[in-house]
Amino acid sequence: MIVSKKVYKISGIVKPDRILTYGIVFYTLIYFLSIPILKAYYAISAKSLLFLLSTSMFFLIGIYSRRYLVKIKPNTTFNVNPMKLYWLGLVGAFFGFTLRFYDRFMIRGAEISFSFIENRHILDNTGPSVYGALGSILYGFAYIPLFIVLYAQYSGYELKKFYIILAYVIFTFPIIDNIIVGSRLQVVIAIFIYLMYIIIYGKGKIKKMFITFLSIIFILLISIIIFSIRSDQLGFNLQYSIMNSVYAQFVKPRVEVMSAVKSLPNYLQLLSYGMIHLLQYFVHGIYEFSYLIDHNDGTVITFGTMMFEPVFKLLKIFGFYSNEYNNMFILRSGVYTTFWGPLYIDFGWYSILIMFIMGFLSEHFYLLVSKYNIYYYTPLYVYMSIIIFFMPVVNLLSVGLGVYIITSYIIIVVIGSLLSINLRSQK
């Protein structure tokens, strides 16, 4: 059995309150860097800032309540053999992506030979079948084998090279799955999951910094390439795409910046336009959220239908839910409204309670991983950390298959807990 006692020594940097701080600081730096390049066409309102501050405060109160006031000790610290979860992740990922492939290309009509735009149009206009839904639930399993590999290596356990290579191959499934339709969000999520695994279980500060640097470069390059290809497939030049994208409703490049870029060589123009687009992509959400909250008073709430949409889709199939609230809100398609946009639509000012619960749970999962070394909670906590980090940008519960990935890791936790109970009964 592989059991590590070292996790607690290094995991303090990934406490949920620190993750939130990192995310806010990172967003703030990007925001101020964007000021000389982008011009905002909507003011951030006091109401939106009050909502952000109050919900964030209750998120922190939830964290500190669990950390200092509520003492919950797990019934057992017995850990199951990680190789069982390795194979569970491997098999789950294989079936998950087989079902998603069948749903997309056999049922809904997408084609590998089609362009990004054609496939996105087809998939946007055809809802997933039951096969696609089941495949999506297993989506997060693709990240489990690599997690086990890194955990095992950190614990001093030697794995066969075949298992290591296979884990990296399976890890690329979500990346390939998204590139086929010209999406980059899941690529970013996959890279950040890997970075979190490295931070928690990797060895050597220099190695971690080097991997982080390479990951950032990869994200930038893949984003620019996808942006360029999508613009070309739509028949737009990059300048037109930047000035007329959905993000440009509230944040456009400054005239003098665009004039300066035009004078550059072609390869530098491509790089510059790509970076400007990324800045729009990253910072526009705060303005979209402000617009949303300024035009919706929060008196009508949708009780989770935005953040947990897949669950409500399933309920709708069985006649337990109708989307009667959807037309009551001013929503713009194709944009992000930070984490707080869907939260506000779903719960209004009751969101402070939701954020308190989320803070409490994130700290609880962190303690289970770090203090009690129950390693099979790590994937769940890692994804929650990524959600927290990107709060100023996007709600990774409502997009990027977030609910499905969380469901995958809840399944892992349940199976790990059941196996641990069985282990305890044998002692």
DSSP-assigned letter for residue 263: T
- Spatial separation of the C-alpha atoms in residues 91 and 44, rounded to whole Å: 47
Which among 189, 266, 258 is positioned nearest to 223, based on CA atoms? 189
- Residue 1: strand, helix, or coil: coil
Q: Percentages helix, strand, coil for the chain, rounded to the nearest 5?
A: 70, 0, 25
Is pTM beyond 0.75? Reply is: yes
- Spatial separation of the C-alpha atoms in residues 360 and 375, rounded to whole Å: 19
In this structure, the number of other CB atoms found within 10 A of the CB of residue 48 comes to: 22
- The confidence score (pLDDT) of residue 370 equals 86
Which among 120, 109, 14, 104 is positioned nearest to 63, based on CA atoms? 14
**CA 365 and chain centroid, separation:** 17
Which among 395, 369, 392 is positioned nearest to 382, based on CA atoms? 369
Contacts by 16-20, CB closer than 8 A, 24 or more apart: 16/63, 16/359, 16/362, 16/363, 16/366, 16/384, 16/385, 16/388, 17/60, 17/63, 17/64, 17/363, 19/385, 19/388, 19/389, 20/56, 20/59, 20/60, 20/388, 20/389, 20/391
For 91-127, the pLDDT digits (tens) are 999 999 999 889 888 888 878 777 777 777 787 777 7
- The confidence score (pLDDT) of residue 25 equals 96
- Six token digits for residue 153: 């290596």
- Spatial separation of the C-alpha atoms in residues 299 and 50, rounded to whole Å: 17
- The confidence score (pLDDT) of residue 7 equals 43
Residue ranges of the domains in the chain? 7-419
DSSP-assigned letter for residue 207: H
Which among 416, 421, 408, 407 is positioned nearest to 375, based on CA atoms? 416
Residue 222 sits at φ, ψ, to 5 deg, of -65, -35
The continuous run of DSSP H or E covering 351 comes out as: helix 351-370
- Spatial separation of the C-alpha atoms in residues 194 and 199, rounded to whole Å: 9
- The confidence score (pLDDT) of residue 54 equals 97
- The confidence score (pLDDT) of residue 209 equals 66
Which among 274, 186, 187, 190 is positioned nearest to 230, based on CA atoms? 274
- The confidence score (pLDDT) of residue 157 equals 79
For 176-216, the pLDDT digits (tens) are 888 777 777 888 888 899 888 888 887 666 666 667 667 77
- Render 41-61 in DSSP notation, one character per residue: SSPPPHHHHHHHHHHHHHHHH
Rounded to the nearest 5 degrees, what angle is found at the Cα of 146, between the Cα atoms of 143 and 149? Answer: 150
With a cut of 50, which residues of the chain have pLDDT below it?
1-8, 327
- The confidence score (pLDDT) of residue 388 equals 97
- The confidence score (pLDDT) of residue 154 equals 81
Which among 385, 401, 413 is positioned nearest to 19, based on CA atoms? 385
- The confidence score (pLDDT) of residue 181 equals 74
